[in-house]
Each structure stands twice: as structure tokens, then as C-alpha cells.
Amino acid sequence: MSQEKQQFYRHLQRAGLKRTAQRDLIVDIFLHTEDHLSSEDLYRVVKEQDASIGQTTIYRTLKLLVEAGLASEVRFGDGRSRYEPNNKFPHHDHLICTNCNHTIEFYSAELKAMLESIAAAHNFHPTEQSLRIFGLCAACAVDAASDSPPAINKSSAPGAFGIAK
């Protein structure tokens, strides 16, 4: 059994919950994802393998994964919570395209050191930090520069165009 799954079962035990085949499947699929999945996204993937699993079970299992320290909730400004496994790489930040929702992950040791020194300068003790850069991905930037008007995605970041209603 992988270290992550052992960690998950230890958490289940502490929470007084049982190990079930459904939770097993959800955790397996989630831990192998490369993506940032919302509860609905994960539901769609899981349903293909076991149609009897409900959306509530998926949602609760995601919360358990976060509590167990195996998943992080990430928000990309469209009001949806997405989740990613913590085992991908230790810490990373995101570039988010507000047109097509494509996300790019990056890690910068320099950035991390800089944020830590800013916090230290303010005598602030950070518990976590995340940086999100909103804009257009390369493909959408090309579209925007061409003659055809770019398609505006309704789910783009609130206030991205300067007006929050």
C-alpha cells in the first residue's frame, strides 16, 4: 500500500470512519490525477468506473483527503473549489488563463525566498502562501491579437474586467 493511502486510512481511523471500496476507488483515482479537479470533475471520472458512487461521497472523500494532508484546495477565481494531490511536488504556484481556464504550474525557489523575507520583514509568520497570476495563455493571447474577437468565457475571474457586480 502506498504511503499516501496508509496516511488516509490512519485519518479515517482517527475520524472513526470505515474503509470502503468506494472511498478506495476515489482515493486511487484522485492520487493519480495530474489535474486540478473540482468535485464535479472527479465525479465524472469516478462514475465511469463505478456508477453507484454518488456526488456526496466524492465531496466528503475530498474533504477527508484535505484533512489528512493529502490534498490541497485551490481556487482559480471562478468560484469553484478545485483539488490537487499534495504528492505532485512540494509547493507550486499557478498561472491561470481567464479565457480558457488552462492552468500552468511553476515552482520558483527565488519567489519562495522572497515571500518569506517579505513576511519576516513584517514580523509575520506565514502558515501557507499561494500565488495566482491571471491572464491569457499563449494560445488565447494569439487569438486575442488576431482580427476575430476573442471568446469571453463566462467563468472568468470575478472582477477580471474591473467591474464586480
The CA-based dihedral angle spanning residues 119, 136, 83, 85, taken in that order and rounded to the nearest 10 degrees:
-80
**Could you tell me the smallest distance in angstroms from the CB atom of residue 96 to Zn ion?**
9
Q: Between 135 and 154, how does the x/- string for binding to Zn ion read (CB under 5 A)? A: --x--x--------------
> Interface residues for Zn ion in 7-46 (CB under 5 A)?
none
93 contacts Zn ion (rule: CB under 5 A): no
- 73-103 burial, b at 16+ Cβ within 10 Å, e below that, comes to ebebbbeeebbbbbeeeeebbbbbbbbbbeb
Q: How far is the CB of 84 from Zn ion (least distance, A)?
A: 5
* Distance in angstroms (rounded) separating the CA atoms of residues 118 and 47: 45
Q: Contacting Zn ion (CB under 5 A), which of 66, 105, 111, 157?
A: 105
Q: Should residue 75 be labelled a site residue for Zn ion when binding is judged by CB under 5 A? A: no
